[in-house]
Amino acid sequence: MSDDMDGKHGVQSLEIGMGILRAMVNGQRAMMLKDIAAAADMPASKAHRYLVSLIRAGLVEQDPLTSRYDLGPFALNIGLVAIDRLDRVRLGLTAIAQLRDQINETTALAVWSDNGPVIVRWERPRRPITVNVVTGTALDILTSASGRVFAAWLNNEAVGKLIAKELKAGKTPPDLKTRADVDALLAQVRTDGYSAISDYYLVTGVEAVAAPVFNFRNEITMVMLAVGVKGMFDTSPASPVVSGVKEAAAALSVRLGYTGTPAGS
C-alpha cells in the first residue's frame, strides 16, 4: 500500500482508541469497564485491551479501589495546553462582532492591566447614532461597568488598592462613599452576573452593560460590554441588551474552557 493510501486510511486502532476516550469524555465521570464498552459500542474484552494501552500512555487511569476508569494525567495535560493556546482576544473579537449584530449596539472587550481595565477591541453598530470606544482606553474601577465586573471577581490586592485610591480621591458615585458600600455593590454584581451603569460617570449621556468572561482556570480573564446612548439603551435586567451580553459572555467562557465554578466563589 502506498504512503498516500496510508495517509488517507489512517490508523484504525488509533481511531478505536480515540473512540474509547470520546466515550469517557462524554460520560463526564469515572466509568466501569462495561459502561465504557457499551458507550464505545464494542465488547468489554476489546475495550479492556485498548484501556490497558491507554493507561500505559497516560491517557487513562484506573482507580484501584473502585476499578473505575477516568482520564489520565496526559489527557488532562493535552486539554489544558490546547485551551491555553487559544487566542482569547481573537475569539473575543468574533464574539463581540456577533453580539453587535444581535443587539445593534457598540460592543467591546476589556482586559485587566496593572492600572485597571483597558479596552482592547470594539465593534461599531449599524445605526446613525452610536458611541465610539477608543482602543486603549483605561477605565476606572467604580465608575465603569467593566471595572465593577473585574473588581467583583478578581478580589485581589491590586484591585483593593485601586478601590482605596478612587475612594480617597472622591472619584466615586454618590452612593459609594465607603469600602462597605463598595463591597455591597460588588456582591450584588456577583449575584446578578453583570453590571450596568445607567448614568455613565466617565462620559455624560452614555450607558454600559458588562459581564465577565472566565477561562479554563475558572478565573475572570476578560469583560464583554455593550455601550449605548442614554435614553436609547435599555439596561433593565430583562432587556435584550443585558441578556445578550450575559449570554455572549457565558458562551465565550465555555469556549475558553470554563466549567461553571468561578475561582474564589
CA 198 – CA 21 distance, rounded (Å)? 49
| Whether pTM exceeds 0.85 | no
CA 93 – CA 98 distance, rounded (Å)? 9
| pLDDT tens digits for range 150-180 | 999 997 788 899 999 989 988 788 888 899 9
Helices (H), 59-141: 73-84, 88-103
CA 188 – CA 163 distance, rounded (Å)? 17
Q: Which of 83, 86, 85, 55 is nearest to 71 (CA)?
A: 55
Give the pLDDT confidence score for residue 263 in this predicted structure: 54
Neighbours of 107 (CB within 10 A): 32
Radius of gyration from C-alpha coordinates of the chain: 24
- Structure letter (DSSP) for residue 3: H
Stretch 12-20: mean pLDDT, rounded?
91
C-alpha cell at 116: 485597571
CA 215 – CA 153 distance, rounded (Å)? 12
Q: Is the pLDDT of residue 62 over 80?
A: yes
| pLDDT tens digits for range 178-229 | 999 999 999 999 999 999 988 655 567 788 999 999 998 889 999 999 998 8
Stretch 115-120: mean pLDDT, rounded?
88
Structurally, at CATH architecture level, domain 3-77 sits in Orthogonal Bundle (1.10)
Stretch 92-118: mean pLDDT, rounded?
91
CATH top class, domain 87-255: alpha beta
For the chain, what are the domain ranges?
A: 3-77, 87-255
Which residues make Cβ contacts (< 8 Å) with residue 11, sequence separation at least 6? none
